[in-house]
Amino acid sequence: MDKYIKDFLGYCEIEKGHSDHTIKNYDHYLTRFNNWARANKIIKPEQIDLEVLKKYRLYLNRLKVLNKKTQGFHIIALRSFLKYLAQHDVKTLAAEKIELPDIPDRQITFMEENELDKLLSQPHTTKITDLRDKAILEVLFSTGLRVSELVKLNRDEINLNKNEFSVVGKGGKNRIVFLSKSALDALKNYLAKRFDKDKALFISHQNIGRDFKTKELKNQETKEKQNNNKSDDNIEKRTKENSQLRLTTRSVQRIVKKYAIAAGLNKKITPHTLRHSFGTDLLRSGADLRAVQQLLGHSSITTTQIYTHVTDEHLKEVHDAFHGQRREDLNTKKNK
C-alpha cells in the first residue's frame, strides 16, 4: 500500500498538476487510512471492500477531533486513490461504489459596498507603508487574488501602462487578472516611492537600507568568483530569484486585519474576504458564472457556485423591494 500511495501522490503532482497544499492533504488523509488499515491487517489494495470502508468510516466518526466535513475529505481522498488504482489495473474496491458524504455548504464572508469603502479608505497618509497597504487592499479587491498569489508577485510582472497581468495560481495554472483604475493608481503611487532594487512587488520597509545578504550568500558569492569566470551572471540570477524583503502571507493578513479594525468592521476580515467580495461583486453586477470562475482561477465551476447562494439572497432583496411596486402605486392612487 505504501508504494501505491507514493505513486499516487507523484501522479497528482505530475499528471494532475495539483497544488502542493492539495498533495499535502492527500498525503495526510491517505497516511491515516494506511495506518488504520495496517493496524487491521489490511496491507494490500485487493483487501479493501465495502465492509472495510464501513469500518474505516466508523473509525473516522469516532475520532472526536474530526468534524463531518474533514471526515468527508478523507473519503474523497480515498476514493481518488482507488480510482487511480483501477486506472492502473490494480484490483481493489471500485471507486464508484463509494457514496460520498454530504458536505455542508461552504459559508463565505464578504463585504458590502459601504464596508469596502471604509476598508479601502483607511490607509490615507503619504508614508510609503500606507501607500503600500493601500495598493495591497486595492489589488486584492480588484483582482480577486489569493494572498499566496499576491505575495509572489514581482515588479517586472506588472506593466503600469496596462491594467492587466498574468498570475500563476493553484496547480501552476496561468490566468489573466485585471486592475481597476483605483488599483492601478495605488500601485503607481506606491512604486513611485520605491528606490530599492528588490524584485518583490510588496516588501517590508522596516529594514530598508541594511545589508540583507546572509553570511551564507556572501560566502557562496566569494566561492563562485574564485571558481567561475561567469560567476557574476550566476550571482545576478540568484539575487533576482531571492527577495530578502518580500512580505509574507502572514504579514498581509495582519495588514488587512489592522485596517478592518480601524474601519470599525465587526466581521472577521481577511485577504480571502476581499477575494470573496470580488467574486460576489461580479455576480451581483450580472457577470457570467463561467467568467467569474476563470477570473478567480477555480478549476471547477462547482467551487464558484458557492457565490450563487449569496447572489440568490441579493435577488430576493431585489424582488422584495421592487416586485409589484407599480401595482401598489396604482392601488394607492385609487384609494386617494
267-318 tens-digit pLDDT: 999 999 999 999 999 988 888 889 999 999 888 888 888 887 766 666 666 6
Q: What are phi and psi of 165, to 5 degrees?
A: -155, 165
pLDDT tens digits, 171-201: 778 899 999 999 999 999 999 999 999 999 9
Active site residues per annotation: 146, 170, 272, 275, 298, 307
15: which residues sit within 8 A by CB, 6+ positions away? Answer: none
Residue 209 lies in a domain: no
Q: Domain range for residue 63?
A: 2-97
Q: Is 324 left (phi over 0), alpha (psi -120 to 50) or beta?
A: left
CA pair distance 283, 179, nearest whole angstrom: 18
Calpha distance 116→38 (Å, rounded):
52
Asked whether 5 and 31 are in contact (CB, 8 A), the reply is yes
* pLDDT at residue number 316: 67
Q: What are phi and psi of 154, to 5 degrees?
A: -115, 155
Using alpha carbons only, how large is the chain's radius of gyration in Å?
26
Overall domain count for the chain? 1
Residue 67 lies in a domain: yes
116-125 pLDDT, tens digit per residue, is 999 999 998 8
Domain assignment present for 59: yes
Is there a domain that residue 68 lies in? yes
Q: Would you give the end-to-end CA distance of the chain in angstroms? A: 82
CB 308 within 8 A of CB 283: yes
> Cα 96 vs. chain centroid, distance in angstroms?
30
**151 neighbors 204 (Cβ within 8 angstroms):** no
57 lies in some domain = yes
Q: What angle do CA 313, 73, 83 make, to 5 degrees?
A: 120
Q: Which of 52, 182, 175 is nearest to 117 (CA)?
A: 182
Grid cell in block for residue 267 = 466581521
Q: What is the pLDDT of residue 229?
A: 44
Residue 231 lies in a domain: no
Whether 142 is covered by a domain: the verdict is no
d(CA 93, CA 163) in angstroms, rounded, equals: 51
Is 55 a member of any domain?
yes
CATH number at residue 42: 1.10.150.130
CB neighbour list of residue 228: distance below 8 Å, 6 or more residues apart: 234
